Amino acid sequence: MTPAAGSQKIDSKNLLILALLAASAIALAPQCLKNALTSTTRDQRILETYGDQTIMGYGYIRERLKGIPKPQFFPETRYPYYGMNAHVVFPNFPNVIDPRMLVGINLRPDDIRTTVVAEAAPFSRQTTAGSHFSAWSFMTKWDYDLLNGLAVEFESAPKNAPQIQATLLHSPSDRRVEGQWRWEGMEISENILLPLNPSIKNVHTRGSLPFVLFLEIKSKDGSAPPPVKTVRVMGVKVNLSGYTLIHQKGYCFMALKNDFLREEFARPESPWRIYIMKHVNIQKIRDELQGRTS
């Protein structure tokens, strides 16, 4: 029988070479596996898996935990997208999170200030004598500490200061009122930023479940107000109000509650004072804290 087209004849010399290579591979496999497992420490492997200043920020959090006066203390950790349980990577620390310390991992400047959360989509509009009503829906893609404003654009500038009322519902199928606001006497042009006071707090990612927003514009003189053209929902991912930033490295930071700082620096023998002064690397804050100890 002749060999099939494309096949190659393997002589005894080639067979011997292949056999030797196979035997070498089998003999070396355990040593290669051992080298892969022993070339790094457990801590280095965890660092590679969970990141230094990215992913879960294992490296940065580990450094901040060094010398912490209270073993049962684990900081609240925040990320650009959604919450991750960083404490599970530190088995020697408790599952109880203490919000007096806040650690941010890989957070950009826009993550800690007011920015656009969503462009609302209109699904109903109605104009009557002296008023304009519109209904909108929007979705929150990530976790936000606050929804704190509505950036509203009108088709044209209102002739006088109208009364504006907004109502936020939980969802199209759940008509619970999440918030209701009213603004009066505001001189506005075609664009206005309406502050939400009180803000909506702790808004978590909801997948494809939208909020529903109703806007009603009423004119004082009975004339038809201009229609609302666009609505942008404003918010803050990570709210640092009430915190003092004491350490920064790249896009990571550690912050402490202001009242916590005051209490600990009012106690001359507080171990937290020593810990904080070892970690603070923002010169302005270091100078202020040193002034409290002198």
The pLDDT, as a whole number, for residue 26 is: 54
The mean pLDDT value for 244-264 works out to 97
Considering the entire predicted model, what is its pTM? Answer: 0.80
Q: b/e map of 140-168 (b: 16 or more CB within 10 Å)?
A: bebbbbbbbbbbbebeeebeeebbbbbbb
Where do the domains of the chain lie, and which CATH numbers do they carry?
A: 51-107+241-293 (no CATH), 113-236 (2.60.120)
What are the tokens at 38? 């022993």
What is the share, in percent, of the chain residues with pLDDT greater than 70? 86
Q: What is the pLDDT of residues 134-184, one digit of tens each?
A: 999 999 989 999 999 999 999 998 888 889 999 999 999 999 999 999 999
Tokens representing residue 179 in the block? 């918030």
Average pLDDT over the chain, rounded to an integer = 86
Q: Please give the Cα distance from 198 to 195 (Å, whole number).
A: 9
pLDDT at 39 over 70: no
Alpha-carbon distance of 135 to 120, in angstroms, equals: 9
Distances (CA, A) of 208 to 122, 230, 267: 16, 21, 50
pLDDT band at 294 (very low <50, low <70, confident <90, very high): low
- pLDDT, residue 245, reads 97
Could you read off the pLDDT of 97-122 as tens digits, one per residue? Answer: 999 999 999 999 999 999 999 999 99
Polymer length of the chain: 294
Mean per-residue pLDDT, 234-253: 97
Q: Given pLDDT bands bounded at 50, 70 and 90, which one contains residue 3?
A: very low
Task: Give the count of alpha carbons within 13 A of 22, CB side only.
Answer: 6
pLDDT category, 209, cuts 50, 70, 90? Answer: very high
Of the listed ranges 30-34, 94-98, 218-222, 266-270, the least confidently predicted one is 30-34
Mean pLDDT for 220-249 is 94
What is the structure's pLDDT at 293? 61
User: CB–CB of 47/60 below 8 Å?
Assistant: no
For residues 189-203, give the mean pLDDT. 95
| Mean predicted confidence (pLDDT) in 123-143 | 94
Region 272-292: mean pLDDT is 92
- pLDDT on residue 111: 97
Q: What pLDDT is attached to residue 291? A: 81
Question: How distant, in Å, are the alpha carbons of 7, 77, 171, 205, 281 from that of 209?
Answer: 60, 26, 7, 9, 42
The helix or strand, by DSSP H or E, that contains position 252, with its residue range, turns out to be strand 252-257
| Nearest alpha carbon to residue 84 among 153, 142, 11 | 142
Task: Report the side by side order of strands in the sheet with 211-218.
Answer: 121-128, 131-138, 211-218, 163-169, 177-183
